[in-house]
Structure 1
Amino acid sequence: MLPSFLLKALKWPVSLTVKSKLVPQDPLKELRIDPAKPIVYAFKTASASDVLAVRRACFALGLPDPTEPLRLNGQSLPRSLFLDKPVALLTRRRRHGNFRDDITRLLSVLRDNKDQDIQLLPVSLFWGRQPGHENPSLLGSMLSDYDSPSWLRKMVVVALYGRDNFIRFARPVSLRNLLDDRVTSDDGLAHKLARVARVHFSRQRLVMTGPRLPDRESMLAALLKTDPMRSAIEDEARTRKEAYAQAEKRAAQYLDEIAAKFSPGFVRMLDRLLTWIWNRIYNGIQVTNAEVVRQLAHDGHEIVYVPCHRSHMDYLLLSYVIYQQGMVPPHIAAGVNLNFFPAGPMFRRGGAFFIRRSFKGNKLYSTVFREYLYSLFQKGYSVKYFTEGGRSRTGRLLPPKTGMLAMTVQSLLRSSERPITLVPVYIGYEHVMEVGSYLKELRGNSKEKESGWQAFKSSIQALRQDFGQGYVNFGQPIPLGQYLSETVPNWRQSTDNPDAKPSWLTPLVNRLGDEVLTRINDAAALNGVTLTALSLLCAERRALSREVLESQLDLLLILAKEAPYSAQMTVPEQNGKALLAQTLNSDKFLVSQDGLGDLVSLDETQAIAMTYYRNNILHLYMLPSLVARMLLAAPRSQSQLAEQVQALYPLLKAELFMGLSEASLADHVQAVLTSLAHQGLVTEENGRWQACGVQRPGYRKLSLLAGVAEESLQRYAIVLTLLRSPEPLGRAELENRAQAVAERLSALFGIQAPEFFDKKLIASLTSTLRDAQLVELGEQSELLPTDKALALDELVLTLLSNEVADTIRNVLCKDGLCS
């Protein structure tokens, strides 16, 4: 134990100068620490300031005091174990602490008491989270808390970084379990535990601070001398018929344009600024599944974050959350359009590296960028890029851009020593500040160019708004090596030539891109704004009484819990009434009163904006909506329901990046039916399911639920009916005519969704037809419907209202396209 007089002397100075953040924020719950069992703490260094900082955190958590001995079976045992002592003032030589001797004492006590257990709880402290430099200066060494610093170095570090201290608790280790697994002496186990603890603390530091920082200029100069770069520069010089030095200068300019200039000091300053901003504009940021990512980083994985892209806020919010969760912020691939003053230099110091929209025709730039990305992986930096390529203007996920994924796979091919893992991330908001500009762009307005003035103006406006809640859900990771082994078993035999492009690479990254987006959607977060938007947009006049809306929200919440779309999705804990009361404070919905009570509604402008939030969660309720729609049309057996859902699923899966496997559809349909039956909305009689009667209260709720699938089914009906044209259509003609019919339908029935007749969405649908075996190619590449397509068209038309179905048929016949 540390001397008691030292702890008493430093108690008040530490309490006044040190402010700690816990990682994770609720260690008892997330790490399953049992306060009822004896606990012993394991520290890297015997530091009084470390122990006192942890002591304050333990008091707040209800954990035992690390400065007091553990009293067990009448014995006084050490409560805190230390691997090392601080280095002497004038030397760097490591001095071992009491860890091995004290752990041996604890194990001996447990051998004598077979029913007793002790939890060994590792605790790491990080002051300022300085990663250090590969070639540190004398001042840098003084300000670093690496290598068990001396009392003088620690005093300087605490004085400078006392308000920026992170305490990282790790999962406790049961000494009883370790002891029961061994039959040899305790000393051997103590020696092994000391080795494991040393590796653990080293990895924890790497997770928290990242690798030591290289000198930027030296790193870029070294990159220019790699074999792939030399070869690309030679090719450039040969192609342009210029000197090697001139081509090399151009490559150096590309590198300088691309490369980040990461600054831990700037990140700390940004952390404080963003904490103030988030507290001002958000009512909270909910983070889910971060411990899985921390464990991957601890296990030595190179992490590549692949989030969805809703807003420019994504850049800052995700990096902030990662930093707050005890991991080093990633290097971020940012569009070169953001490299404007003053944002560009700031982003660069925060870890951003810049990428051009297209590499086409510029082999040298492509090589430079690929080598820089590979160097980040080699040095152990985590990376973040948006696989959609740009921000979604509709709230739906965009088809993946696979260039960065391909370069990530190629990096793994060159060096597979350290595993690379993709971590999909769902980012959700109750308010997206760019929604207004997105709607203007969808109406045909040109995109406003980013500039310093625009960024400043947007920032000032943002500080005056209430953004509600923010959501960051880490999805199910994709270990890249494992994914390759399952998809391309012989991938390790591929050449390590960085310019090589195996024949399997393009189809693999196409599937991988879809898988990433699917797992992002699996981790979706439900919230009051998205659920209310979904409900009101299904109402005929976009208005519902408050009681009906509360009841509809209850239905959606219960469905999400009883028939969950995925295990990774998150659901609000409130009931419909409480959730609606919270949501209406956002001023996104109109609330009026009549003699019967409150009405909640959307005007035309609000309705268009709300489609963005609805589209965030559309995939979660698409299958329950189909089931409701089928039962409202006619009674069906469960097997018929499953079969018809399966027939439509390939189109829905491609459109919405849905992750349910076709094999699990029948089980999901059964879960939906069970949940609807519990709520009195459907009944089963003689093996056939049917909707409740029109006079029952549940009929309205079922009808509103059925409205979720309306627009998708209308698009499918348009395209499938067009395939019946007497004169077969080519793909381009099919898409143009489908868009025209969709525009007509939108005007006739007041469909507010801007993407309803979006050409890209229709093009995505037509590209799925062949994969789903709904069309065959004719001699002139025209699309010919299969029997499966004709049957699906009949099914879809029966699921639409008679008015809509007749309108589709009539519009097509009027244009001479019906058979």
Structure 2
Amino acid sequence: MTNSLSRWVNILRWPVRFLVRSKLVPKDPCAELNIDRHKPIVYVLKTESLTDLVALERICKSLKLPLPTQPLQLGERKIPRYFCVQGRVPVFGKNNDANKFINRFSELINFLRQPEQQDVQIVPVALFWGRKPGREDDTVKAAVIADEQASWLRKIMMVLFLGRDNFVRFSQPISMVELIASRSSDERIAHKLSRLARFHFHRQAQTMLGPKLLYRNSLDQRLMKSPALQVAMQEYAQQKNLSDDQVKAEVSKLVDEIAANYSERLLRIGDRVLTWLWNKLYKGINISNAERVRQLAQDGEEIIFVPCHRSHMDYLLLSYVIYRQGMVPPHIAAGINLSFWPAGPIFRRGGAFFMRRTFKGNKLYAAVFREYLHQLFNNGYSVKYFTEGGRSRTGRLLSPKTGMIAMTVQGALRGIERPITLVPVYLGYDHVMEVGTYHSELKGKSKEKESVGQVVKTLRKLKNFGRGYVNFGQPISLNKHLDNEVPQWHESINPMEQQKPSWLTPTVNSLANKVMVNINNAAAVTAITLSALVVLGVERRVIAKSTLEAQLDLYLKLLRQARYSADITIPELSGKELLAHAIELKKFTVSEDDLGQVISLDISSAVTMTYYRNNILHLFALPSLIAASFVYHGVKTREQLDNVIEQLYPLLKNELFIGLSQQELATYVDDILLSLTALELISDSDGQYTIMTAHKPQLMILAQHIQETLERYAIVLKIMQKKPHIERSALNNDSHALAKRLSNIHGINAPEFFDKQVLSSFISELKEQGYIDHDDSHLPKVDQLVETVSGLLLPNVLATIKVSLN
């Protein structure tokens, strides 16, 4: 750096220090992007700008990375530590330094070709001042906040107005050794690197800023001109005997009811407000696998976020995380119940568009909504919707509502050019604010309507609720899914009309199930969920603190050794540390006797904690089933164990959205058995399994986690056995009544234990698996399943079921 530049850098450090608050993307680039602090680093910036350089310097200092303002020492030579693909922009005229940095790249490449020189990491870094995408039909570019090719004078204005909205986006490092391995000339490689860098920065700008926005009148015009909607409008006019103007007026009202009114300014304000809110509510937000989504956005994919739905906080949390991860917050499909004032207008400006609970009976509304969604897809806006339809009241994933997924597939059949990718997202909380009302609703209390009063009531309860968890699951390419399921799907593409091919429903159902499986595959194991699992699995919900800590340690080892999925997150803590965190959140009662401390849950707290246990129940379904097979069923060999799993896995797979193929299932069972052996819960002698007496209590606790599920199965199956020709509706009612009795007698606190929807889903799956025939009569293989399930239950519970049916 020349003396002149160094002097200007020194001058700019003070104003940048006070005016600029940079936000890092990703938050820990060294860990997430594998940037090696010990290898030489050269930064690549888009435009030569001293302000950008000083802002980057402050970030690098906080990350303990080499400063871009300090030269890189390679052997006896010093070279600049940063390169720019575009020269500094003058206040007037054009930049004439097009070849300046090509020459510098060439010099670096030539120098690194010397055998004794070590590798250098090229790290692209993009800096954004604000996140304004502009509007598609703007005729005059904003003079202050447009970041494209900003001169030093405009940069000063940007720092003044947008200094607190500066985003610094690091990218994956590039090895110079790999670049220069080709036989091309130095200048040719430099040109190639420059082109790649320009394209890279262009894609990053698209990812960060998103497509240009449409004014509402422009959106209305596009919708009205849509051939598909015009057909629906003509049919509606004929059906209702209305004029074209009357239909257009009705369509305009529907658009007003549905459409978002996206505002970048509100997002900037919301960023500050939500940062305050999360700091008030939570001790932090754990985020996993965000880089895979950033890469999808940078690759130009049309991204559909499909999260699970735990709380109203989901709307805010996921959009906030996406914004902070350097992507454009998606447009959000929200229930019409959330459009009340003042929340509705605010949500609309945050990207929410509203939908009615049902489209039945209003073809025009359905056509307008589908066309609006298609316009979002077609114009490159990412979208978020909840496949469960509503919030889970039990903590388990609900059966998916397939309407939005069907419209997404139909959108692909309209011929959208960009590939569509669904990104499942697991959302979790150490504390869900609505969990108390959920249990009231499950007991029959009417759902309280959303209102201003509810918001005020919620705000008065703000306190520290532990941590939030956002895990991005394995993305699902819609195009590849259709290629696998329906190779001929391209034949159904029609940009003019909505398509409903015969394969649509089964394909949508399989896609929806895959989404739910991938959400569960990205579950977050937490102090609360794991502690709740253990305490609810012991008699009377009371356990010695030392025993609980040991069981937590056992489960952490089991989760790591028998990995359910590569995407689940497991805390890097001990059982003692996890329990301390759970106790700090006041979820458990801690008492003391002569022998030490005891952890317990009263009846009310136990009901609440079932919600958190259910978040991760699917992770322990098979380990618990295997433990129960050893403890209660007397399984001794792998063949006997495989027989139990073969009968019950298809039912558990459907209920808990477990997505293991037969080969994956066999491998997973192998891993569980190896882990149980390594943890000395069982011994394996030439394929003969024996319970280790010293650790049998721990194995018995593990066996308890599947008991409530098996008890529910036994209730339904025993009724079917006693009444072979019972109708499905009567079977559901009788099962519900018996489940409530069992819950009262044996103190089963889980509200979903006797939930009619859960029972109905199980009965439907029995029919799907061939246990019930077309006239609702049960088939002979039910008896074998009853025998297997009965052998896995506690004797006293089984006795209660038998007595109640006599």
TM over 0.5, shorter chain: yes
Measured in 2, the distance between the counterparts of 1:343 and 1:155 equals 36
Deviations 1:417-465 (A, max 9, x none): 211110000000110000110011011000000011211211221x2x3
Please state if 1:67 is matched with 2:65.
Answer: no
Deviates more, 1:508-517 or 1:183-192: 183-192
Measured in 2, the distance between the counterparts of 1:238 and 1:94 equals 63
The answer for the alignment partner of 2:732 in structure 1 is 735
Amino acid at match of 2:175: S
Please state if 1:318 is matched with 2:346.
Answer: no
The answer for the alignment partner of 1:490 in structure 2 is 488
The answer for the alignment partner of 1:471 in structure 2 is 469
Deviations 1:787-807 (A, max 9, x none): 2x2211101101112222222
Please state if 1:521 is matched with 2:520.
Answer: yes
Deviation at 1:377, TM superposition (A): 1.1
**SS state of the match for residue 96, structure 1?**
coil
Measured in 2, the distance between the counterparts of 1:443 and 1:510 equals 30
Deviates more, 1:285-294 or 1:185-194: 185-194
TM-score where L is the length of structure 2: 0.97
TM-score where L is the length of structure 1: 0.96
Please state if 1:429 is matched with 2:444.
Answer: no
Deviations 1:546-572 (A, max 9, x none): 111111111111111111211111111
The answer for the alignment partner of 1:458 in structure 2 is 458
Deviations 1:62-91 (A, max 9, x none): 222212332323223232211112433245
Deviation at 1:13, TM superposition (A): 1.7
The answer for the alignment partner of 1:817 in structure 2 is none
Measured in 1, the distance between the counterparts of 2:593 and 2:118 equals 68
Measured in 1, the distance between the counterparts of 2:145 and 2:138 equals 10
The answer for the alignment partner of 1:448 in structure 2 is 448
The answer for the alignment partner of 2:605 in structure 1 is 606
| 8 Å CA contact retained: 2:134, 2:213 | yes
Q: Check 1:726–1:659 CA distance in 2 against 1; reply closer, same or farther (3 A cut).
A: closer
Please state if 1:786 is matched with 2:763.
Answer: no
Amino acid at match of 1:679: L
Measured in 2, the distance between the counterparts of 1:434 and 1:358 equals 24
Amino acid at match of 1:117: D
Once the two structures are superposed, the pairs formed by residues 239-258 of structure 1 within 5 Å of their partners are: 239-258=239-258
Within the candidate set 41, 48, 53, 1:51 is matched to 53
Please state if 1:151 is matched with 2:168.
Answer: no
**SS state of the match for residue 724, structure 1?**
helix
Amino acid at match of 1:617: I
Deviation at 1:686, TM superposition (A): 4.7
| 8 Å CA contact retained: 1:410, 1:498 | no
**SS state of the match for residue 168, structure 1?**
strand
Deviation at 1:27, TM superposition (A): 0.9
Within the candidate set 756, 761, 780, 1:759 is matched to 756
Deviation at 1:137, TM superposition (A): 6.1
| 8 Å CA contact retained: 1:19, 1:165 | yes
**SS state of the match for residue 123, structure 1?**
strand
**SS state of the match for residue 110, structure 2?**
helix
Please state if 1:346 is matched with 2:339.
Answer: no
Within the candidate set 120, 130, 135, 2:122 is matched to 120
Measured in 2, the distance between the counterparts of 1:727 and 1:26 equals 61
**SS state of the match for residue 253, structure 2?**
helix
Measured in 1, the distance between the counterparts of 2:791 and 2:639 equals 18
Amino acid at match of 1:238: Q
| 8 Å CA contact retained: 2:75, 2:117 | no
Deviation at 1:737, TM superposition (A): 1.6
Please state if 1:183 is matched with 2:183.
Answer: yes
Deviations 1:590-620 (A, max 9, x none): 1111111111111111111111111111101
Deviates more, 1:483-492 or 1:676-685: 676-685
| 8 Å CA contact retained: 1:85, 1:148 | no
Measured in 2, the distance between the counterparts of 1:32 and 1:250 equals 55
Amino acid at match of 1:271: D
Give identity over the alignment, percent: 50
Amino acid at match of 2:278: W
| 8 Å CA contact retained: 1:41, 1:79 | yes
**SS state of the match for residue 587, structure 2?**
coil
Measured in 1, the distance between the counterparts of 2:259 and 2:584 equals 44
Amino acid at match of 2:500: K
Measured in 2, the distance between the counterparts of 1:224 and 1:276 equals 41
Q: Check 1:86–1:144 CA distance in 2 against 1; reply closer, same or farther (3 A cut).
A: farther
| 8 Å CA contact retained: 1:46, 1:82 | yes
| 8 Å CA contact retained: 1:44, 1:82 | yes
**SS state of the match for residue 751, structure 2?**
coil
Amino acid at match of 1:172: P
Deviation at 1:692, TM superposition (A): 2.2
Measured in 1, the distance between the counterparts of 2:643 and 2:787 equals 14
Deviation at 1:50, TM superposition (A): 0.3
| 8 Å CA contact retained: 2:207, 2:294 | yes
Measured in 2, the distance between the counterparts of 1:687 and 1:23 equals 51
Amino acid at match of 1:454: Q
The answer for the alignment partner of 1:101 in structure 2 is 103
Measured in 2, the distance between the counterparts of 1:509 and 1:786 equals 33
| 8 Å CA contact retained: 1:642, 1:665 | no
Deviation at 1:638, TM superposition (A): 1.9
The answer for the alignment partner of 1:404 in structure 2 is 404
Deviation at 1:307, TM superposition (A): 0.3
Measured in 2, the distance between the counterparts of 1:755 and 1:705 equals 20
Once the two structures are superposed, the pairs formed by residues 365-380 of structure 1 within 5 Å of their partners are: 365-380=365-380
Deviates more, 1:797-806 or 1:383-392: 797-806
Within the candidate set 33, 36, 39, 2:35 is matched to 33
Once the two structures are superposed, the pairs formed by residues 127-146 of structure 1 within 5 Å of their partners are: 127-136=129-138, 138=140, 141-146=142-147
The answer for the alignment partner of 1:8 in structure 2 is 10
Q: Check 1:135–1:96 CA distance in 2 against 1; reply closer, same or farther (3 A cut).
A: farther
**SS state of the match for residue 627, structure 1?**
helix
Deviation at 1:379, TM superposition (A): 1.4
Measured in 2, the distance between the counterparts of 1:403 and 1:97 equals 54
Measured in 1, the distance between the counterparts of 2:74 and 2:56 equals 22
Deviations 1:273-312 (A, max 9, x none): 1111111110111000001111111111111110000000
Measured in 2, the distance between the counterparts of 1:107 and 1:478 equals 40
| 8 Å CA contact retained: 2:635, 2:641 | no
| 8 Å CA contact retained: 2:618, 2:656 | yes
Measured in 1, the distance between the counterparts of 2:223 and 2:521 equals 39
Please state if 1:806 is matched with 2:804.
Answer: no
Deviation at 1:727, TM superposition (A): 4.5
The answer for the alignment partner of 2:566 in structure 1 is 567
What residue ranges of structure 2 are gaps of 5+ in the alignment? none
The answer for the alignment partner of 1:207 in structure 2 is 207
| 8 Å CA contact retained: 1:132, 1:144 | no
Amino acid at match of 2:719: L
**SS state of the match for residue 414, structure 1?**
coil
Deviation at 1:664, TM superposition (A): 2.1
Aligned length: 802
Measured in 2, the distance between the counterparts of 1:726 and 1:561 equals 45
Deviations 1:119-172 (A, max 9, x none): 11111001112212223365x521233321112211111111111111001001
Measured in 2, the distance between the counterparts of 1:5 and 1:207 equals 35
Deviation at 1:751, TM superposition (A): 1.0
Please state if 1:285 is matched with 2:285.
Answer: yes
Amino acid at match of 1:332: I
Q: Check 1:109–1:727 CA distance in 2 against 1; reply closer, same or farther (3 A cut).
A: closer
**SS state of the match for residue 752, structure 1?**
coil
The answer for the alignment partner of 1:615 in structure 2 is 614
| 8 Å CA contact retained: 2:203, 2:298 | yes
| 8 Å CA contact retained: 2:129, 2:147 | no
Deviations 1:358-395 (A, max 9, x none): 11111111111111111111111111000000000011
Within the candidate set 747, 751, 770, 1:750 is matched to 747
Q: Check 1:91–1:412 CA distance in 2 against 1; reply closer, same or farther (3 A cut).
A: farther
The answer for the alignment partner of 1:166 in structure 2 is 167
Measured in 2, the distance between the counterparts of 1:16 and 1:744 equals 66
Amino acid at match of 2:346: M
**SS state of the match for residue 605, structure 2?**
helix
Once the two structures are superposed, the pairs formed by residues 328-347 of structure 1 within 5 Å of their partners are: 328-347=328-347
